[in-house]
Chains A and B, each alone.
Chain A
Amino acid sequence: MLTVIGHVARKETRQILRDRRTLVLLLVMPIILTFLFGKALETGELRHIPSVILNQDGSPESNAIVTAFSTYDEVRIQGEVGTVQEAQERLAQGKIKAAIIIPRGFMNQIVAGEEAQLQLLLDGTDNNSAPIVEGVAQRVIQRYNAERAVRGLWARGVRPDRGRRLIQPVFVQTEIRYNPGLRYLSYVMPGVIGLTLQLLTVMLMAVSITRERERGTLDQLMASPITRSELILGKLLPYLGMSLLNVITILFVADRWFNVPVRERLPLLLALCTLFVLTSLATGLLISAVSRSQFQAIQIAVFYVLPVFMLSGAYAPIEAIPEAIRPISYLFPLMYFCRAVRAVTLRGADLFLVWKDLAILGGFVLIFLYWAVLSFKKRVA
């Protein structure tokens, strides 16, 4: 059995090495994908939301507000506009996401003790940016209000430190354990690694048997005494080798460019990646075993890879998925992989904390491989 697996593996390796285009795809694409996905999601932490100021008041107070806005990273003030109409036009053209309007008489109202308003014109199309700008505005105004109140109290003989406590007697003290910067990137990197590893392995394996079916070489194989498991395992091994190479390059990219703490728990991470890659390879083999043609195999693979992306918690917690369809998430190996890798890279979890996920991934490997062997028939239809 082992020697026959070896013969199949050797044959597959030769074919992989001779197919230069696929080889380059296999080795370079994961690096590019990890880099692109990572970069795209890094800026997923919304900053520099393009905004304009309409300062109709032009008073010292309104100028102070404008200055306050420019100290926040989240908004980027692109400049000032002259009229509300102009602000609306820019918003309609999609050039800005927010307009901060300080109406005429702003300072006079404040001085007169009337209610003054800071107006925001927001683009609701982008449901992420709008609340962020609103949050910034709340903070600016809260701070402005507090400072004004402290000054008012001081004028009445209350010392500023005491005045501050009177205005704001309670503070929230937060301590963030794990991922202290609350970087979205740190959260999403395990998903990026998993998706990249999965994409190519599933696709490549999915066409591996169907390609032989289409070229007719499967006839010769099926007429030989090779067993189904020998063929399946023989095809799996070379791709596992290639994928492990990818694991190393991807982890390197994650470590170098995205500051994912890879080195501290390298053996555990490698074990997780290896098991996960095996689940993807086995899934691809299963798809290949049940498909009639390469085209069909690719179709099935796409229909597998896309929902996985949405449902496995790769880029958002699965708690965000409606409860009705959440059970589906538990069917995807990627979910367990992301969970475990997050635990390892963000919380520094060791083997004892993630052994369950390791075991589940191992279970997936066995089930998918067994299923693939059973689905592959050594007879022609």
Chain B
Amino acid sequence: MTFAIETMNLTRRFGTLTAVADLNLTVRTGEIFGFLGPNGAGKTTTIRMLCGLLLPSEGSARVAGLDVAADAESIKRTVGYMPQRFSLYGDLTAEENLDFFAGIYRLPGPERRRRVTETLARVGLAGRRRDLTDHLSGGLKQRLALGCALVHSPAILFLDEPTAGADPPSRQRIWDLLYQAAAEGQTILVTTHYVEEAERCQTIGFMHQGRFIGAGSPEQCKADMAEDLLEVDALPVMEAAALARGLGGVTGVSIYGHTLRVFAKTTTHLRHHLQEALTAGGITVKNIRAVTPTLEDVFMSLTRGGADGNAGR
């Protein structure tokens, strides 16, 4: 099996802060890999190391078979990067931005013009090509930035929160573009903190406090969740949550509307205990049932459990 990206104990420290610690990650060629984690988890630092923008403090990484420390400039030729912060020239038009990036990626004249026209059409900006980038809406800017990362047909695409702040239709369009790129054989590593977006990826990796805490396909991650999950319909819901949290074996409780999601090590006796404790506390329990976790549940479970909740490695 070929890996587009492979890291070995990749570590990056900033002074006393360890932003990324002992990261071991593999991304298969042609897959969409979703990098999930809260803000400050180390996703951006990881991407910057993989793009050759930042030297690792320890460990190593290979991108497209090239070492990030030794061959950073060769890597830059084969990858596309869309930074989290919008970083195109606001005082150039959409077309000029694309043309500039196609130019500095050394696309020869005729191919450059062809790719610029193609990319404009692809990201849906053909009609706005002569508009100054500053005058485009947030969603269009993001699509243009994606276009600039795609214009030189890179083998690997690094996208740092490409949909941050975008409305649902804009997000959908960006994901359509990502599927199209993946269908054409491009490997995509995309970071997000929207859990529902992670469902769209073939593989997801969870990051928390600089550490890699789990990876696998969305289904696998759900199946491998270390804790069991009960859904409880109870009233009043706040008091029920407080009682459930105090119960032995319960590791976490989240409230969704009028239902509780209770995470626990094991549910065989807990279900009974929970029913008893809640009723004794004067709470009306309508229903308790075991449910399959969503990715959000997995994420909550992993970030709470830290190292011991290691799913699907």
Contact between B104 and A216, CB atoms less than 8 A apart? no
Q: Which residues of A contact B48 (CB under 8 A)?
A: 380
How many positions in chain A have a CB within 8 Å of any CB in the partner chain? 28
Interface-facing stretch out of A13-21, A46-54, A149-157, A302-310 = A13-21
- B304 contacts the other chain (CB 8 A): no
Task: Mark B182-204 against chain A: 1 for CB-CB distance below 8 A, else 0.
Answer: 00000000000000000000000
**A216 contacts which of B86, B96, B101, B106 (Cβ < 8 Å)?**
B86
Contact between A223 and B106, CB atoms less than 8 A apart? no
Contact between A14 and B53, CB atoms less than 8 A apart? no
Q: Which residues of A contact B85 (CB under 8 A)?
A: 216, 219
- B32 contacts the other chain (CB 8 A): no
Contact between A220 and B101, CB atoms less than 8 A apart? yes
Q: Which residues of B contact A4 (CB under 8 A)?
A: 103-104, 106
Contact between A223 and B104, CB atoms less than 8 A apart? no
Q: Which residues of A contact B76 (CB under 8 A)?
A: 223-225
Q: Which residues of B contact A18 (CB under 8 A)?
A: 91
Q: A216-B85, A219-B85 are in contact. Are A225 and B91 (CB under 8 A)?
A: no
Contact between A379 and B55, CB atoms less than 8 A apart? yes
Q: How far is the CA of A378 from the CA of B148 in the complex (A)?
A: 19
Interface of A (DSSP majority class): helix
Task: Mark A1-27 against chain B: 1 for CB-CB distance below 8 A, else 0.
Answer: 001101110110011001100000000
Give, as a whole number of angstroms, the nearest-CB distance from A185 to chain B.
Answer: 41
Q: How far is the CA of A220 from the CA of B101 in the complex (A)?
A: 9
Contact between A225 and B104, CB atoms less than 8 A apart? yes
Give, as a whole number of angstroms, the nearest-CB distance from B111 to chain A.
Answer: 12
Contact between A224 and B53, CB atoms less than 8 A apart? no
Task: With CB as the reference atom, state the residue of chain A lying closest to B109.
Answer: A3
Q: How many contacts A-B (CB < 8 Å)?
A: 78
- A177 contacts the other chain (CB 8 A): no
User: Which residues of A in the span 194-246 have a Cβ within 8 Å of any Cβ on B?
Assistant: 215-227, 230
Contact between B96 and A11, CB atoms less than 8 A apart? yes
Q: A380-B53, A380-B54 are in contact. Are A225 and B73 (CB under 8 A)?
A: yes
Task: Mark B126-149 against chain A: 1 for CB-CB distance below 8 A, else 0.
Answer: 000000000000000000000010
Give, as a whole number of angstroms, the nearest-CB distance from B148 to chain A.
Answer: 7
Contact between B83 and A219, CB atoms less than 8 A apart? yes
Q: Which residues of B contact A216 (CB under 8 A)?
A: 83, 85-87
Can you list 22 A-B pairs, Cβ within 8 angstroms, ordered by A? A3-B106, A7-B100, A7-B103, A7-B104, A10-B100, A11-B89, A11-B96, A18-B91, A215-B87, A217-B87, A218-B87, A219-B85, A220-B101, A221-B104, A222-B53, A223-B52, A223-B79, A224-B101, A225-B73, A379-B55, A380-B53, A380-B54
Which A residues are within 8 Å of any B CB, using their own CB? Answer: 3-4, 6-8, 10-11, 14-15, 18-19, 215-227, 230, 378-380
Interface pairs A-B: 3 shortest CB-CB? A7-B103, A223-B81, A216-B87
